[in-house]
Amino acid sequence: MSEHFKPSEFKSKDGKPSPWPEVVDPGLYYLLEEIRADFGKPIYINSGYRSPEHNKKVGGAPNSFHVKGQAADIRPRHGKDFETELRRLKIIANRRCKGGVGFYPSFVHVDLGPERRWNGK
């Protein structure tokens, strides 16, 4: 499905099955490959598909694109340059993603929904 990302990275943390054969929308794999190519280093998936139950448990938005298999929360490798690398990742995601991009202190949310930008807690 993707050169650098495996379906297992996107599975709901509660083990419930996704509506997609490869866990998430193929367009999300494509977007993440573009972001990774620009970033030039591995990026890590904090959260991909979420079952409705898991999404509610973690306080996700009721109409979250995670539940639709069309969103991922991504981050660079943890290390001494984490904050600098996260800023770079935010810039790249903002440029590459035509859908939603949320900027958080420890990750970036990207999704295949309509274009919008926000800062989260």
CATH code of 7-119, in short, is 3.30.1380.10
Q: Given this model, what pLDDT does residue 81 score?
A: 96
Evaluate whether 46 touches 10 at the Cβ level (below 8 Å).
no
Q: Given this model, what pLDDT does residue 54 score?
A: 97
Angstrom distance (rounded) from CA 95 to CA 89:
10
Site of tokens 């009721």: 62
DSSP 16: P
Evaluate whether 94 touches 110 at the Cβ level (below 8 Å).
no
For residue 58, the one-letter residue type is: V
Q: Given this model, what pLDDT does residue 121 score?
A: 86
Q: What's the order of all strands across the beta sheet hosting 100-103?
A: 44-47, 71-75, 108-111, 100-103, 116-119
Domain extent listing, the chain? 7-119
CA 103 to chain centre: 11
Structure tokens at 75: 């981050």
Angstrom distance (rounded) from CA 51 to CA 53:
5
pLDDT tens digits, the chain, 121 residues: what are they? 699 999 999 999 999 999 999 999 999 999 999 999 999 999 999 999 999 999 999 999 989 999 999 999 999 999 999 999 999 999 999 999 999 999 999 999 999 999 999 999 8
Sign, CA torsion 62/110/78/34: positive
